[in-house]
Structure formats: C-alpha cells, structure tokens
A and B are shown apart, each in its own frame.
Chain A
C-alpha cells in the first residue's frame, strides 16, 4: 500500500467530487421515491447518470473528446470525424459555487457551473478541445475565461438574427470552417459516407425521441417529465448507439403501458409544458417541484431536451457539402433559442405544444442572471394570455435555499389548474 491511499484528509478535489455525487444521488433517490409506476427501462438512465456523475466513469475512452458549450455545435460533424461530442452544460450547484469566483455573482448558474467544472478540471470525459458558439452573452464571454484556464477553445460564430438569408449563409460558412478546422485538427478527412452515416445515426436517435414524445399525448402519459429529462440529458455524454438502444427498450415498455393504460401520473394530474432555461442534471429542481405537486410535464421547449432533438437534417443531394450545409441549417433555422432578435417562433412552438399535448398550463423558468429568458418573459406571458393558456413564471438558480418559496408558488399554480379543470 502506498502512502497516498493511506491519508485520510480529503483534498479539495475529492470534496468537490463527494459533494457532486451527493447532489446527483439525492436527485436520483428523490425521483425513485416519488415515481408513480417507475418504468423498468429507466434503470439504464438512472445507472448511467450515477456512473458518469458520481463514479466519474468515462464514456469515450480512447477517443478525442470535443466539448461543446451549447446545442448549436453540429454533433453530426464531430461524430463523422471520429471524435466524441460531449456537451459540457452543467447543472451542479457545487460547480456553480466554484464558478462564482470567476464570473460576476449575478451571472447565469448554468454558465457559472460550467466554468466551475473547467476551473477544477472535474470531468469524467475531459474535453481535448472546447467549442463555444457565440450564442448568449454569458457563454460568449465565458469563452475567454475558459481559454485563459489553458483549454484549447474554438469559437463558432453564430448569428443573432435568424430570418435573413445573410445569416443563413453566415452560419453555413461558420459550420464549413468548423468542419475544415476540426478535420485538420483530428487529421481525418470527412467523407460523404461517414457524414451520411452520422446524419442517419443522429437522425435515428431523433426519431426515437419523437416516437417517445408522441406517447406522452396519451390521456395518461406513460413517462414522467423528469424521467424524460434524464433520458434527453443522457444524450449529452452517452454513446449515441447505446443511448438509442436504451431508448428503444424504453419505447417498447412505454408502448405497452399506453395500451394497458398505465401512466406516470394520475388521471387528473394537470398537464404541463415546460419552457425556459434548460433543466440540466442534477438541477431538476423546478421539474421535480412540478411533478411532486401532482402535475405532469408532457412536453418541453428547452435546449436540454426538445430543442436538442426536434429539428432533423434533410438532404436533397447526398454530396458532402450539401450535407454539411443541411446539417448547418438544422441548427439555425428551426432553433427557438431566445438569443435571436425576435421570439415569434418560440411562442408559436409553445402554443403548438400546448395544443398538441393537450396541456393545461405552462411553466416558464428563467435562471436568475439569464438575461435572454428573463427578457422574453413578458412577450411569452402576453401571448399565452391571449391564447387563454395559464402560465407560471419562475426565477430560480441552482441553490437549494429558495426551495420553500418556489414550492408554494408551484403548488398554488397546480391547484389553480386543477380547479380550472374541475370547472370545465
């Protein structure tokens, strides 16, 4: 036995790991405890999150890991070049606190937590290269900080206006440049065959997500919103093939459940569409509050879930550069990210989700410090009011402290939806 294993005083890094593991385990345990009819096939995802976040088990050993700071980074391109895309958006309060030393205290907890993980180099799959698109201000500014910490960073220029043909061209060029640079960096040539295979691989995962989502339209949604977030969040770091296989199993179980009328909620549980700042494991604070208050999330409009899978690549002629452009389009055109000048698309999407999934109300969460979601609050609320859709707006962060107040508001909202339902 060497001296290292003997010492009992915890290093700061070990403490960080322990705290993170505690956060993760707590969420997983609560989810298990409160689950109505927990699906068997979910075990894969519970176990996966535990392994990755508590045991720090790497998923992509032997591969170059390209860390992405946002969903706008084209996954298909990275995968086709033989590297592993790992999304670094972080949901740990422990990391948020560490990140607070590098960023203004009022910044977005997601960005702070991400920076915190960089500061301590605490990753199961440490990135060999970091790609940050210039989406929201905070991510954009975090780029410099991460670079100063000594990580190789690649900036992808992202337009803030979506409608114009110019921005489409601009983004296509960004993606082409990224493709070229990455291909040089990895010393691999991007081929038609490889990119097509990646598009199909990711497309298949998206198809599975869509099929799973569609089942949530059932009178009794077979899967809870929180489980769904675990599933979609797992895509951040899991191997795509493994993820798809697990979702296939889940689908079979869920299809059977819908036939048998087994649900992850009660018949009278109000149905919620979640929108706003993305719930990222283990920060499922608000989604958990919603479902513990006897509502069920049937759909969401957020970049850690729906937006990650919704839009699919469509190619007309399967030539290499046609495919690269088509991939680029997938990330820009359909995106409902609030960084864009206007948010009509986002509003239309929320309304459509409410209709399609027969939801009773919308919960809109903005992380304190997330300027873009905070700013869109007004227009979304106004639009929902016009449509007669009840909506609850919450501001929250990663800290466990304000739970009491949030709980009260969520419960009151769910109650009001219930009585509204009874009246109908």
Chain B
C-alpha cells in the first residue's frame, strides 16, 4: 500500500496528463472510426459537428432539447431530456472538473498551442487580478443565455435561427471538424441576418481562440459555459481537490503554475474543498506544492495524488544537483 502511495505521489504528472489527453482526444475526435460511441452527453466540448466523434458535447443536445414548444418541454416527452441530463451528471460526478484538465478536446488543443508557444521560446501572458475578476463572469452570462435562448424559441419569443446559438459562436464547431478533414464549417451562413452575425462572430471567436491560447494558457476555458455548468454540480462529485490549510505556507507555488490563475489555491487556508469554478482539475498545483500532504486529489475519500516534498524535488529536478536540462 505504502509503495503504491509513493509511486503515485512521485508520478510524472506532466507526462501522465499528456498521454491521457492524447488518448482521449483520439477517442473523442475519431471514435466513430473505431465504432466507439460514448453518447451525446459528455461533460466536455467534444464537438457534435465532428461527424466521426466518439462521444459528444452535451451543450448541443441541451440547447436543442430546451428549444421545444413549452407545452412539450413540461410533458412526458421530456423524459428523454431527463435521461440525457442524468447521464451527463453521472459522467461528471465521477471525474468532476478533471474532464477539463484531462479529456476535453478543446482544452487539449489549447495545451498543444501552449506547447507550440514554448517551442518558440515565447513567454506566456497573464491577466491581472482585476481583469481576471471581470472575465470570470462571462462564462455564467454565456451559460444563462445558452439556457434561456432555446426556451425563448420554444415560447415563440425569438426565431428558430437562434437555435443552438452558442454552437454558432463556439470555436469547437469550426476547429474540431478540421481534424477529420472537414472544412464545411468555415463559412458564413447568409440565410438570415441573425445566422450571418452569429457565424461571423464564430469566425472571430475562433481566430481569438487560436491566437489567444497561443499567448495565454487555457485562454478559452475562462469563458467556457460548460465550465460554469459543471461547477454548478461539482459539490456532488466524488473526485475532490482538497487542501489542508494548516500545512500551507502560502508560498504561492501552486498559484504560479495554475493555468487558470486561481489565487485561492494559495491564499485560502480555510476551505477544505478548494476547487474553484475556473479550475480544470489539472492537478498541476498538487505537483507544484512542496508541503507534505497540503494539497490532494481524493476520489471517494481515497487519495489518488498528493503533494509531497519528495515528489516536488523530483519533478523540479532538484533531487540531484546538475540534473539534466530538459525543457519542461
């Protein structure tokens, strides 16, 4: 038991994560080629516009389902909706926001763009705290719109061209299909003024996604409504990010490495459950914390990864002086 514990804690998280991300990326983007279908209620932006996907983003069906005439929405016919929602929840409850850090193809793509930037030797940029606080509201606004617009369609308040409005502006729709050689989404839909504006906006946002994630780590995740939706349920998850405030020295190492600039991870010494809404549960903070057992990831009470002094020294390559100079 102790040996397993130590093995896990000393693990090379960076490599492990890169491998999981690659495997799940292939699974979700190309799954259909291998006859894999995980359904259409995935808690990640695995885009439904990719015809070969092996599991699909829940936001697309959600928008469609909510867009029914109101009478129908509150009838037996909505059992299907409920089933979809429960499936989404079940997926989510097991892995919590680790879906973002380890599975979401859109998240993975951003990490690849980050690697590309590193290859060029360019430094990342970051938001200051004021900008950060302003930005973090956007994803909730998007989520509310995403839920309200379809209902408004159902109620006959706005036209059907608003259907799946978020998908129209989501970069997933344009980028993901490229991986299976499908360029069909790269057009502006002139069928109505609304669709024209939305698809044009989609183009702009996609451009921003590519440029943004090149300079800023996880640029898009700050705005992602899926992240907001997930967070609404994250209290129920069995995978937890926990902190023992008594052991924390507030050294800020965890905050420095956090792609999502979550300041609480370092400064909050009161919360036991330290998961914040922007968190992608990438666990980089745990790997970077030099205090024994200060940060940990628990699944149903069982610790799967925790900060240790030894693990820290190993990952920082300081356990032996003059360690190899690998570009991390």
**Residues of A near any B CB (own CB < 8 A):** 162-163, 165, 168-169, 193, 196-197, 199-201, 203-204, 206-207, 210, 214, 241, 244, 310-319, 321-322, 325-326, 329-330, 333-334, 336, 345, 348-349, 351-352, 355
Contact = CB atoms under 8 A, between A and B. Distances in A.
B295 to A, nearest CB: 12
A330 B253 CA distance: 8
B318 A329 contact: no
Interface of B: 118, 121, 123-124, 128-129, 245-253, 256-257, 263, 266-267, 269, 284, 288, 290, 309, 312-313, 316-323, 325, 327-328
B124 A317 contact: yes
A196 B325 contact: yes
Contacts of A169: 128
Contacts of A204: 313, 318-321
B249 to A, nearest CB: 4
A326 B256 contact: yes
B323 A200 contact: yes
Nearest to A344: B269
Given A165-B128, A203-B313, A311-B290, A355 B249 contact: no
B251 A317 contact: no
A162 B249 CA distance: 12
A311 B251 contact: yes
30 contacts: A165-B129, A200-B317, A200-B318, A203-B313, A204-B321, A206-B318, A214-B309, A312-B251, A312-B318, A313-B253, A314-B251, A314-B257, A314-B288, A314-B290, A314-B312, A315-B256, A316-B257, A317-B124, A325-B256, A326-B256, A329-B251, A329-B252, A329-B253, A330-B251, A333-B266, A334-B251, A345-B250, A348-B245, A348-B248, A352-B246
A333 B263 contact: no
B325 A333 contact: no
Nearest to B263: A165
Q: Which of A315, A316, A325, A351 is the most central at the interface, judged by chain B CB atoms within 10 Å of its CB?
A: A316
Given A316-B256, A319-B123, A355-B246, 7 more contacts: A199-B318, A204-B320, A206-B318, A311-B249, A314-B290, A334-B251, A351-B246
Contacts of B322: 197, 200-201
A336 B269 CA distance: 15
Given A199-B318, A200-B321, A334 B312 contact: no
Contacts of A321: 123
A244 B319 CA distance: 12
Contacts of B250: 162, 333-334, 345
A319 B321 CA distance: 19
B258 to A, nearest CB: 9
Contacts of B263: 165
Contacts of B313: 203-204, 207
Contact of B318 (A168, A207, A330, A334): A207
A314 B249 contact: no
Please classify the interface of chain A as helix (H, G, I), strand (E, B), loop, or mixed, using the class held by over half of its residues: helix
Nearest to A332: B252
A329 B256 contact: yes
A162 B269 CA distance: 15
Contacts of A352: 246-247
A255 B303 CA distance: 28
Please classify the interface of chain B as helix (H, G, I), strand (E, B), loop, or mixed, using the class held by over half of its residues: loop
A345 B316 contact: no
A339 B258 CA distance: 28
A77 B314 CA distance: 22
Contact of B267 (A163, A312, A317, A348): A163
A325 B256 CA distance: 9
Nearest to A165: B129
Contacts of B252: 168, 329, 333-334
Contacts of B251: 311-312, 314, 329-330, 333-334
A369 B247 CA distance: 32
Contacts of A313: 253, 316
Contact of A317 (B123, B128, B312): B123
Nearest to B288: A314
B328 A345 contact: no
Contacts of A310: 249
Contacts of A200: 316-318, 321-323
A203 B323 CA distance: 12
B256 A207 contact: no
Nearest to A213: B309
A387 to B, nearest CB: 11
Nearest to A312: B290
B313 to A, nearest CB: 5
B276 to A, nearest CB: 16
Contacts of B288: 314, 316
Contacts of A348: 245-246, 248, 269
B317 to A, nearest CB: 6
Q: Which 5 pairs from chain A and chain B are nearest by CB? A: A203-B318, A334-B251, A314-B253, A333-B252, A316-B257
Contacts of B247: 352
Contacts of B121: 319
A306 to B, nearest CB: 11
A200 B317 CA distance: 7
Contacts of A351: 246
Contact of B316 (A311, A314, A317, A329): A314
A348 B246 CA distance: 6
B309 to A, nearest CB: 5
Contacts of B124: 317
A326 B251 CA distance: 10
B19 to A, nearest CB: 19
A206 B317 CA distance: 13
Contacts of A316: 256-257, 284, 288
B219 to A, nearest CB: 16
Contact of A210 (B248, B309, B323, B328): B309
B105 to A, nearest CB: 23
A210 B310 CA distance: 10
Contact of A312 (B129, B253, B320): B253
